[in-house]
Structure 1
Amino acid sequence: MGRWEPDARERLVRAALDLFCEQGYENTSVAQIAERAGLTKSTYFRHFRDKREVLFGGQDQLLELLTSGIIGAPPSVGPLAAVEAALVAIAVTFTEERLANAPRRQAVIAGTDELRERDALKMAGFARAMKDALRQRGVSELDADVAAELGVLAVRRGFDRWLEDGGDFAEVARRALEEVRVAAAELQGAE
């Protein structure tokens, strides 16, 4: 049996992260990434639209999973329980490979204004997808907005915790959402 070899997409991600860490995001070209991965520039563009997408690839899958998680939640559950179903649905994308690459990926994003902006847009897209899915379930606009924003906060907090401790992202995200829920309730009681 042969030795497992990472697919082209994984090789491109690893090569990009190596180069971004070595010489900076701005100083790295798509051609350099492809060459480091032992692939062609056209192969790069078969997997990613542009240089940023090597760091943000898979967003379409996450949006689909968030939406299907909310829409597929039992009709009897409330908005936050539907958001929890969405967070559980995206857990399949939180793999060991992703965990291994995440610290370097986060460092590259944190060091570049353009990438921080792209990350913020990604989170806004998550909120919009969750809100739209909640609206499809008949949730009022304001309740859908609040639940979606709490869901994004739970994703962020859960992701940070997952980076520190690893484990099952579904459980980490559930705990993060519960903490957000409790904090929101405490804010209401503090007034």
Structure 2
Amino acid sequence: MQSRVIVLAGPSGAGKSRLAERTGLPVLRLDDFYKDGSDPTLPRLTEGANAGLVDWDHPDSWLPDDALATLSELCTSGYAEVPVYEIARNGRCGSHVVHLDGSPLFVAEGIFAQDIVAACEEAGLLAAAYCVTQRPVVTFWRRLTRDLRERRKPPLVLVRRGLALMRNQRVVVADAVAKGCRRTTPEQAFHDIERMRENATS
């Protein structure tokens, strides 16, 4: 095993991507393993104003086995080809190669990251797992401004989705903690990862 992974889970908009970038470690974006929008197995919302639309916040909307296989390849060989997913296009639009360049640690982040923690630990790939969280209103606003800026979905869909996710944030955090993640703020996680990085390279 050449490297181990630090998993960052947590609600959409909690700051996982920003934290991953801030660490300076190589990053595997688990959201790139979403299913294509044409996949007939995608789950659908059954209630609320967005009923009938794809439920992109349901774990059945992504491919955990593909994510785990890529993560394992990174840990053992130090590089892997990874899909590039465009949320605004509901599908993959190419691929790129993630290189660890000899780093003993790397980050894997995404809204379904908690679902791979147990498998990573069992395989000896896991360095640490965090559930990054902030106050629900902060998460809601950051998620909404990001999604509007990137034009991920129509504005009304984003607002409705954001309100539903804000109400459900406690459930998301509790699920991640139950699956082996430690609840933390982005700042606390950053300092933990800095210490971990220092120990790994000393």
| TM-score, normalising length: structure 2 | 0.31
Question: Whose helix fraction is larger, Structure 1's or Structure 2's?
Answer: 1
Q: Which has the higher contact order (CA 8 A, sep 6+)?
A: 2
Question: Whose strand fraction is larger, Structure 1's or Structure 2's?
Answer: 2
